[in-house]
Amino acid sequence: MIYQYPIHLENSMTFTTAPTKPLSFTKSNGYDGNNIRVTNIVGYENGDFLKVCPHCNGILPSESFGLRPTMDRDQSWCMDCR
């Protein structure tokens, strides 16, 4: 997982620890514990938050996107699309 807890999403969800079961919800953005912007989050499964790629519409773990540390945010497109 590329994010640090706590993770605060604009849909009023806050995660201080990893969820104990899979979740899915409407796409949301927010910030992680390092004040990194997180985008396109749609759920949690198998130990990682899930994101939707706006280019291919794939739903993938956050690890498939990476971070843009110089911009203080995550990547929008998945690594395959980039």
Which string of DSSP letters, residue by residue, matches the chain? ----S-EEETTS-EESS--SS-EEEEEEEEE-TT--EEEEEEEEETTEEEEE-TTT--EEEGGGT-EETTTTEE-SS-TTT-
pLDDT the model gives residue 42 = 98
Q: Model-level pTM?
A: 0.92
Q: Name which of 26, 42, 30, 28 is nearest 4 in CA terms.
A: 30
pLDDT per residue as tens digits for the range 17-45:
999 999 999 999 999 999 999 999 999 99
How does the average pLDDT of the chain come out, rounded?
95
Give the distance from CA 45 to its chain's centroid.
11
